[in-house]
Amino acid sequence: MTVKNELIKSILASIWFMFLTFPIMVIKVNTVTDTVEWRWYNMAVVGIGSFFISMLWRYLIRKKEEGSKKEKKDTVGPVQRILQDKKYFLPGIGAALLFTIFFPHIFSMYQTNIMISALIYVMLGLGLNIVIGLAGLLDLGYVAFFAVGAYSYALLNLHYGVTFWIALPLGGLIAAFFGIILGYPVLRLRGDYLAIVTLGFGEIIRLVLENWNEFSFGPSGIANIPKPGFFGFELSLQATTTFTFYIIVLLVLFTIFVINRLQNSRIGRAWSALKDDEVACQAMGIDKAKTKLRAFALGATWAGMGGVVFAAKTTFINPASFTIWESVIILCTVVLGGMGSIAGVMCGALLLILLPEYLRDFGEFRMITFGTVLVLMMVFRPGGIIENVRNTYKFEKSSQS
């Protein structure tokens, strides 16, 4: 009789969702002509869709519950096995590197530009991963530091002629400085308050940029930001794009290196512990505020550097590029990929940024998909597509004991 039960449940869900979506999905009032458009087709789609989705949903929930009854395992998925196996790992990395090196020469400048954007997101994702994946701090104002970096370069260049190469570390430092200034007072707060306060800070920075015309040129933004220079040589547009591509690739590699080192260090472990249990963490002698502040400032540094690259790449910035939704997109790449996992975050960022680019029709569904991804990942796979695995240590002694 379970089949019958399932069917009934699905039909009920289907009816419920048809009811729920009725006014918004079916009726559309045209206020100019004063006519109503009845879109019954939508109702049919919702009805049939929710019938099957509810079945799938219940199946997945049941599977998840069964899974959680079993011992919690540090499951090593196929992806990690490949990542850990030197036999596949090294050639894989080699191939990826070769592909990256030749990418700008194989594909058009347009493609290269898209790839640069995607890699900027990879860098931002990895930076946010320090804050949220490693240290467990939900920072919804991350894009503010991205803005700080971008505006640092744009303004320093405008007023003092500071070049890209000097602005890059400087942008990172200024963003880190902001991170510390903002982080210091708020890091004592509980996790969910932190999310709201960082969101508030993100909006404050954007609104200030938007309204303080004398400083930031308001909504019209700053144009003619120079692209990265190559030892003072004049490069063609094509060559500059290729050059920018290599710069961002190197930056991503640098980021991976740093995060990998951090993750397997005393600081990385402290972050991880802080994420698990703050009280116990303090009782182990870890300074909560200082440890959090370090994660916050480091994350901001990467956002700042990403911002400098972004400004140099687009040559034009305005506050509209730094809305809260940008933070949410970056958050989404981290969550989808796998909080704390470097490979995961990279995959997440590439997937989420490249897919909508190539699926043109999909463009308008971009944000709604992000929303769905956030909910579904949290409900069914909070670890992300490539889950982070913990370091293990080998001991000769352990075989004897």
Partner 1 sequence: MDFHITYMADDSHNRRDESRFKNIYLLRLSYKTGSRTGLNMDLEYFSQLFFGGLTRGSIYALIALGYTMVYGIIELINFAHGEIYMIGAFTALIVSSVLTLFGMPVLAVVVLAGMAAVVYSCSYGYTMEKIAYKPLRNAPRLSALISAIGMSLFLQNYVLLAQTSDFLPFPSLIPDFEFWEPYAHILTSPELVILITTVVVMILLTFLIKFTKIGKAMRATSQDKMMASLLGINVDRVISVTFVVGSATAAIGGILIASHIGQINFYMGFIAGIKAFVAAVLGGIGSIPGAVLGSLVLGWTESFFTGYISSDYEDVFAFLFLVLILIFRPSGILGRSQAQKV
Partner 2 sequence: MKPILEVKNMTMDFGGLRAIDNLDLFIDKGEIVALIGPNGAGKTTFFNCITGIYTPTSGDVFIDPDGDGKKERINNLKPNLVTRRGLARTFQNIRLFSSMTVLENVMIGCHAVTKAGILGAIFRGPSTKAEENLIVEKSYNILEKIGLAKYVNELAVNLPYGAQRRLEIARAMATEPFLLLLDEPAAGMNPQETLELDALIMKLRDNEGISILLIEHDMKLVMSLSERIYVVDYGKKIGEGTPEDIRSNPVVIKAYLGEEIEEDA
> Where do contacts with partner 2 occur on this chain (CB under 8 A)?
71-74, 258, 261-262, 265-270, 272-273, 275-277, 279-288, 294, 298, 390-393, 395, 397-398, 401
**Which value, in Å, is the radius of gyration of the alpha carbons in the chain?**
24
Q: Give the DSSP letter string of 300-329.
A: HHHHHHHHHHHHHHHS-B-GGGG-HHHHHH
Instruction: Between 148 and 286, name the residue whose CB sits nearer to partner 2.
Output: 286
Select from 191, 397, 175, 398 the least CA-distant residue to 303.
175
Instruction: Between 206 and 227, name the residue whose CB sits nearer to partner 1.
Output: 206
Cβ(380)–Cβ(64) under 8 Å? yes
Q: Which of 331, 345, 350, 389 binds partner 1 (CB under 8 A)?
A: 331
Inter-axis angle of helices 191-211 and 164-186, to 10 degrees? 130
Instruction: Between 169 and 371, name the residue whose CB sits nearer to partner 1.
Output: 371
Select from 128, 45, 54, 110 the least CA-distant residue to 335.
128
Q: x/- binding map, residues 162-181, to partner 1, per CB under 8 A? A: --------------------
Instruction: Between 115 and 298, name the residue whose CB sits nearer to partner 1.
Output: 115
Is 191 a binder of partner 1 (CB under 8 A)?
Answer: yes
Query: From the list partner 2, partner 1, none, which binds 343 (C-beta under 5 to 8 Å, kind-based)?
Result: none
Is 24 a binder of partner 1 (CB under 8 A)?
Answer: yes
Q: How far apart are the first and last CA of the chain?
A: 54
Three-state secondary-structure class, residue 36? strand
Three-state secondary-structure class, residue 317? strand
Question: Given the rule CB under 8 A, which of 300-308, 319-327, 340-348, 385-393 is the region that contacts partner 1?
Answer: 319-327
Q: Which of 59, 88, 193, 257 binds partner 1 (CB under 8 A)?
A: 193
Query: From the list partner 1, partner 2, none, which binds 262 (C-beta under 5 to 8 Å, kind-based)?
Result: partner 2
Beta-bridge partner residues of 35: 30
Give the whole-angstrom CA distance, residue 258 versus residue 242. Answer: 24
Number of CB atoms found within 10 A of residue 261's CB: 11
Minimal distance, residue 276 CB to partner 2, in Å: 4
Beta-bridge partner residues of 28: 37
Task: Number of residues interacting with partner 1: please give it, by CB under 8 A.
Answer: 82
Instruction: Between 247 and 332, name the residue whose CB sits nearer to partner 1.
Output: 332
Instruction: Between 69 and 72, name the residue whose CB sits nearer to partner 2.
Output: 72
Q: x/- binding map, residues 90-129, to partner 1, per CB under 8 A? A: --------------------x--xx--x------------
Query: From the list partner 2, partner 1, none, which binds 90 (C-beta under 5 to 8 Å, kind-based)?
Result: none
Cβ(114)–Cβ(354) under 8 Å? yes
Minimal distance, residue 327 CB to partner 2, in Å: 24
Give the whole-angstrom CA distance, residue 1 versus residue 176. Answer: 61
Q: Half-sphere exposure (CA, 13 Å, Cβ side) for 262?
A: 24
* Touching partner 1, residues 260-289 (CB under 8 A): 279
